[in-house]
Structure 1
């Protein structure tokens, strides 16, 4: 199990907005709590969606962090709900990524790396050249894929995977999670039909067991009873058929844009 270092200072202190992240689809701000840099997404800045209830994205982000902690893999940076200048919102510790690393990439089809990567899909770019979507082949993305299956992540874009300087990989932007209906949309399809390892199965079982204790009690304050039951069902399905699943249903298998 891995964990992130505790931030210094009082995280309940005043939150001061220092900038806006304009590439986000919902109102997303860079802010500071004392000397701690955070991302702040107020509920008031969430845009309505056709397939998710209004005003619930911040709660889903907080719920994703709780499940990440139950897995013990430090996938989601510390995330919590609190008030800010624009009201209640999701707050998450800012992460300084390594711009020289990419966990997911789009490469010319004739330039595929020989090792260390998984092939996801082939496509044509805007210049009608054949390209291939690939992602890293390693424990970090295996774990993130399992996490996404359990949380039913409908928006795992390449840009939502943060490559850290030490080789760790964080996942962010988990507002579109925990729907009771199958919604899995991800760029991490490279492990399809691979067997889950004993440590991975133990982590899934740990999450499922926690649903009947403290984790379940906390999640019940953030998502609906039917959504909570669906988390249990997805854990049970992975334990019963311990392989990475393939896309199913009529939903698109990947988010758009991919990055």
Structure 2
């Protein structure tokens, strides 16, 4: 995991480096490109003009939500989101994030798995039971891993509406979380594959983490910075989510009134 100094240096390189497009990522729903920064650092470039219109998120706001999520991850001491900036690129302004993980974009790991009912391996937490494409009963589960729990709590703060398994990347044993364009909405939209921790009590460290973040978000300097990226209503909703987590003293419960899972899961 990069130190704060490493992250600052990488962010500075992202902001000022020359960009060369390697190619477009064909699996992405929006226009997403892998680029090389200053001939050495690989990164993911998501131009605003390539964002597909969505019914529930304002047009042209996903890149700013990527940066907002990164800033909150840093400020909250999660450090699970790769260094991210906003800048002009070959296709106009957009988000630019350090590439993590393998270059083949396989996303293969054992953090999440699918098993027949009753065959859940030790050390995994069930998320949902259903049927596969052959109508066989299956259980989707995720590893009981401290790093995954960190991401689950971060997603609750960010109100992440799209935490898929493929947005969890292992890089030399370190867990990173990517794809944060669908975050920070004013309405509850948490959709995630990490519901295995639902309703569990917060640890003392998690409570302190949230309390510290709440204090930082109360400062004029930080609020002024975030107000350039998201709306005042979304800022208020962010504060309310943190307050609710601290008041409930638990990880979020699975909502009964709306769909709690992203689609597809992977």
Measured against the shorter chain, the TM-score band is over 0.9
CA contact (8 A) 1:3 1:73 kept: no
Alignment of 1:56-67 (within 5 A): 56-67=61-72
The match for 1:182 is: 188
The two structures have a TM-score, normalised by structure 2, of 0.91
Partner secondary structure for residue 166 of structure 2:
helix
Computed over aligned residues only, the root mean square deviation of the Cα atoms, in angstroms, reads 1.8
Matches of 1:107 and 1:164 in 2, distance apart?
25
Q: CA deviation at 1:129?
A: 1.2
Asked if residue 223 in structure 1 is aligned to residue 230 in structure 2, the reply is: yes
The match for 1:16 is: 20
Matches of 1:132 and 1:192 in 2, distance apart?
16
Q: CA deviation at 1:249?
A: 5.7
The two structures have a TM-score, normalised by structure 1, of 0.94
Matches of 2:256 and 2:232 in 1, distance apart?
23
Asked if residue 170 in structure 1 is aligned to residue 186 in structure 2, the reply is: no
Q: Number of residue pairs matched?
A: 257
The match for 1:205 is: 211
Q: 1:30 is matched with which residue: 30, 34, 38? A: 34
The match for 2:51 is: 46
Matches of 1:165 and 1:143 in 2, distance apart?
18
Deviates further, 68-77 or 103-112: 103-112
CA contact (8 A) 1:102 1:163 kept: no
CA contact (8 A) 2:80 2:151 kept: yes
In structure 2, the CA distance between the partners of 1:99 and 1:181, relative to structure 1 (3 Å rule), is closer
CA contact (8 A) 1:211 1:217 kept: no
Matches of 1:99 and 1:150 in 2, distance apart?
24
Partner secondary structure for residue 197 of structure 2:
coil
In structure 2, the CA distance between the partners of 1:107 and 1:165, relative to structure 1 (3 Å rule), is farther
CA contact (8 A) 1:66 1:215 kept: no
Q: CA deviation at 1:130?
A: 1.3
Q: Which runs of 5+ in 1 are unaligned?
A: none
Q: 2:262 is matched with which residue: 247, 255, 258? A: 255
